[in-house]
Each structure stands twice: as structure tokens, then as C-alpha cells.
Amino acid sequence: MHHFKYRGDELYCEDVSIEKIADAVGTPFYLYSAATLERHYRAFEDALKTTDHLICYSVKANSNLAILSQFARLGSGFDIVSGGELFRALKSGGDPKKIVFSGVGKTREEIREALAAGILMFNVESLQELHEIDSVAAAAGKTAPVAFRVNPDVDPKTHPYISTGLKQNKFGIPVVQALAAYRTAQSLPHVTPIGVDCHIGSQLTEIAPFVDALTRVKDLVAQLRDDGFEIRYLDLGGGLGITYDEEEPPHPTKYGRELIENTVGLGCTLILEPGRVIVGNAGIMVTRVLYTKQNLGKKFVIVDAGMNDLLRPSLYQAYHRLQAVRRRITEMVLADVVGPICESGDFLAQDREIQPYEKGDLMAVMSVGAYGFAMASNYNTRPRVPEVLVSDDRYYMIRRRETLAELIAAEEVPDFLRNP
């Protein structure tokens, strides 16, 4: 459920005309609905209200400060994967005691900053990382709370680029090696194991892989308890999918019910790290048609948004529904929707049945709230686009469009190149 709806033939975000925003801020731009963000967050909270839990929004999905601030006000914790995301989470008012630090490549400086902030725990992905955390904690005179990310070798049945729980993936340690890893942690003076972490992938549309992974992780928790470990947290990651096209992912209510039923008596606080499922359908990208053309019968709609603005179609062959901001009742046409980037892989859709667009028309690219702006770049020296947040009948610029001067502000030309 989201708040992008037609009124007559004009597309609105909540109570604001999208065309009005486009005229004011220019195109392309990202647009988010505050009501949708809150609705999706509360769906997770309500699904788990009968059990001890902590929602840690996955910052990598969309890290805009305004969006993080909205989640912090709702009581969310944060799942981070870099020092930069820690900085953003704290700047947004996030409680450090509700922050978990994931990721395979934490640097000493990032570990030091997280220890200083007093985060809830580190999700450790290798024995070398464990020893690094112990070393940094010793130098700081602290003890680091940790959980190992265990890899249960469960097929999430998703795109291979966003699968994380198979033995061939880079994430975590094999579940069969976990007990030995925890014993190593127990021998170190400046780390304390307090949890178990497991995340099998993203855009999952079935519950069975979650339950399969949970079964294997529960066995590990029991083993650890028998071995004398006080495991207080079970972090089950995120990964619940959304509807891009015709997918029918389970509702958080059903997901939560399965998790609760399968963790009765476990005695752990459940940590979930939803990202895409909360923000994905809460955001769109609005782009304007620059030109249309035909090459020997092949139709192209050329828009002002490119793969630097939205990478997912080029990277994952991802499907995003396209909706006209002003729709016309007419026959559909088969066309490619492409951007201005000098790459053949620069497209938003290929061989798609769409309304016949004309020069100047506005197009909404749906379901881009997750991994949309967050993956944007300056390729072809293109400024990153604005982000706009709508709440009720008002809109707010939450990131202005970059300027050309800002694109080169960090660059320097050495003196020997200045004077011929």
C-alpha cells in the first residue's frame, strides 16, 4: 500500500500534485511519501508487538537524513555497514544502543568510532575481523559486544547479486564453524558474544527460506547456551520483498507470525533489519521525456533520467513500473525507455508496453525508494538529483540538486599543470 494515486488522470503523492512539484524543482527528482514510510514501519512494529524485538532499519536502502529522522522519531534502531552510515544514524537522532554494525570490511577507524558511540553490537563476519575488533577495543579500554553472522547455506530464491546466505557468498561464516568461532571470541579479553546474526538475502517473496534459516540458527543458539554463552539477541536480518511487478511477497503480519511461532521459548530479543520493504514502494523517480524516435520500427522514449540516477535496471535487469503523471486513454505501444548516458546499458525499461509518450511528458518510475538514490553516481559528470518528501498537502526539499561547482569542489590541479 502506498500513497501515489491518480485523481482523475493526474498522479498525486498524498495530497500534492506531482506535476506541481516537477514544475517547481525540475526533473529528474526522487519523491517520497511520509505517510507511506510510517505505514510500512508500523506494519513491522505491529507484526512483532507480542514479542521482545528491535527494528533496525537498514540504512543502506535509503540514507537521506530526513527519512532516517522520521524512523528515529518512530523509535527505530539502525543497521549500518559503514562509518558514514553511523554518522548519518547519529545525526538523525538515532539511539546508539539501537545500532548494529554489519558488513564484511569494517576498518579500524570505523570500529573505533562505533565503540566510542556505544553501539548495541557488531555483527562479525570473519575471525580476522573478530581479532581486529578485540585489538581496537583493547586500545580504547573497552569491551566490544559482538554477534557472529552465520551463513546457513539456505537458497533465498532471489537474484544472485542479492543472495547472501549461500556458502558461495562472501558474507558470514559457515554455521558448522560457528561454535568454534564463538569459543575463540570467548577467549579474547575485549569482546563479549551477546548474539547470533543471520541474513540470507534481499527481495525474498517466500517465507520458507526464512523459516529454514531460522531452524538452523535456533540449533546453534541451543548449542551456544549449552556451552555457557549468554545469547540475548537473535538478529534475523531483513530481506522481505516488495511488489515491483506481479510479485506477491508475504505481508509483515504473516512474516511476524511465523517468526514468533518459531522462536517461542527461545529467550532472545529478535532484531530485524528491514530496508527495501519499508522504503521501496514509498518512493518514485519523476523524469521528463526529452525526445522520441524510431529506428527501423524500434521505438525509443528518451528521458532526462539515466543509469547514474537509477542503476537497478542496468545492474540487476530490475523491473520498475512506469506510470504517466498525466495519463491518456489510448492504445499502448512497445518501446524502450532510455536515458542520456553514453552507454548501451542505460535504460529504465526495454520492450515495455507503455502509453505513447510525447516530448515534455512526465513519467513516474515506481518503487525506487530503496537502492535508488542510494546507488546514484555522477557518471558522465551529471549532478545528483534532488530528493523531495511529501507530508499531507506539503512538500519539502530534503536534498537539493547538486551544482556543477560541487562536482569539482574536491578536485585539485597540481601546479605543474597550471603553468605551461
Helix 34-47 × helix 252-261 angle, to 10°: 20
Looking up cell 537522532 gives 93
| Exposure on the CB side of residue 140, measured as CA atoms within 13 A | 21
Q: Are strands 322-324 and 29-33 parallel, antiparallel or unpaired?
A: unpaired
Strands (E), 110-219: 121-124, 144-151, 173-174, 191-197
366 closest CA partner among 241, 226, 243: 243
3-state secondary structure (DSSP) of residue 392: coil
Closest CA to 191 of 181, 202, 206: 181
DSSP bridge pairs for 249:
none
CA distances from 288 to 5, 285, 301, 302, 360 (A): 19, 10, 10, 9, 6
The active-site residue out of 56, 198, 268, 342 is 342
Q: Phi, psi at residue 116, to the nearest 5°?
A: -60, -35
**Residue 141: which residues within 8 A CB-CB, separation 6 or more?**
none
- Residue 13 annotated among the catalytic residues of the structure: no
Q: Where are the beta strands (DSSP E) in 69-212?
A: 77-80, 99-101, 121-124, 144-151, 173-174, 191-197
Give the amino acid at 192. T
Give the catalytic positions in this structure.
342
